[in-house]
Chains A and B, each alone.
Chain A
Amino acid sequence: AQSVTQLDSHVSVSEGTPVLLRCNYSSSYSPSLFWYVQHPNKGLQLLLKYTSAATLVKGINGFEAEFKKSETSFHLTKPSAHMSDAAEYFCVVSTTSNTGKLIFGQGTTLQVKP
């Protein structure tokens, strides 16, 4: 069965410093992986996705993630945090290649301090 573990429930960084949100996955086949962001009282927005192409995936707003099969990880990074990045972030795996059931991690709250 597929699953996702977000290793930190809360991450706090200062504005202008790097962001690292950690995610490990479990999948019995080659997975599709996603990162979504959820701002307060708003819906989920797709940041980026990995679907067996390049292992380094670039997304919106300067975020990127690297797929590491040997470590079963898909960590999200950004070189320099902005105040507007404060939100809830979800790492997501798709269960099978021919259906779109998404399995979400528990989420990581990113706090950005001025």
Chain B
Amino acid sequence: DAGVTQSPTHLIKTRGQQVTLRCSPKSGHDTVSWYQQALGQGPQFIFQYYEEEERQRGNFPDRFSGHQFPNYSSELNVNALLLGDSALYLCASSLGLAGSYEQYFGPGTRLTVT
């Protein structure tokens, strides 16, 4: 049973560019959340998708957008990259939206903005 997978593993971009990160949830899960983890910090919630809609959003600018596909996989898009966007981006999946449900995390995508 495959867990949460993310691609690519690492990515280097230049300021002002755009990037797309991808996530496939754990088999049977229908909810995907994205988190940003800066070096030495705890992960910060970006947004959550369920039934192909953004259900909740954290304190991130509109440069951060996402999408969920009918097969429950998801993409995170970041436009007009800033140096401060350099971080580990984590995808988590769960079965349903409830706060008590366990979220399973992928290995992350390390984004470096130069």
Contact segment of B14-22, B41-49, B73-81: B41-49
Contact between chains at B99 and A104 (CB < 8 Å) = no
Number of interface residues of B (CB under 8 A): 30
Per-residue B-contact encoding for A38-58, CB less than 8 Å = 1, 0 else: 000011111001011000000
Give A9's nearest chain B residue, CB to CB: B40
| Interface residue? B105 (CB, 8 A) | yes
Q: Which residues of B contact A103 (CB under 8 A)?
A: 45
Q: Which A residues touch B58, using CB under 8 A?
A: 101
> Please, which residues of chain B bring their CB within 8 A of the CB of A99?
48, 55-56, 97-99
Does B107 contact A94, Cβ atoms closer than 8 Å?
no
Q: How far is the CA of A49 from the CA of B98 in the complex (A)?
A: 14
| A61 part of interface (Cβ distance < 8 Å) | no
Q: Is the CB of B102 within 8 A of A101?
A: no
| A98 & B42 in contact (Cβ 8 Å cutoff) | no
Smallest beta-carbon distance B64→chain A, Å: 15
In the complex, chain B residues whose CB is within 8 Å of the CB of A101: 33, 45, 48, 56, 58, 99
Chain A's nearest CB lies how many Å from the CB of B87? 13
- Given the known interface contacts A44-B90, A105-B42, A107-B42, the answer about A100 and B108 at a Cβ–Cβ threshold of 8 Å is no
